[in-house]
Amino acid sequence: MSEDLRNEELENDDAKNAIILLTDEEGNDIAFEFLDLIKYQEDEYVVLSPVEEEEDEDEESQVMILRLEEETEDGGETYVAFDDQEILEAVYAIFKDKWKDKFNFTD
Residue-by-residue pLDDT tens, the chain, 107 positions: 444 454 443 433 445 569 998 888 899 999 999 999 999 999 999 999 989 765 555 566 788 999 998 777 787 788 899 999 999 999 999 988 888 777 766 76
Residues ≥6 apart with Cβ < 8 Å to 67: 43, 44, 45, 79, 80, 81, 82
Taking the domains of the chain in order of start, what are their residue ranges? Answer: 4-98
Specify the pTM.
0.72
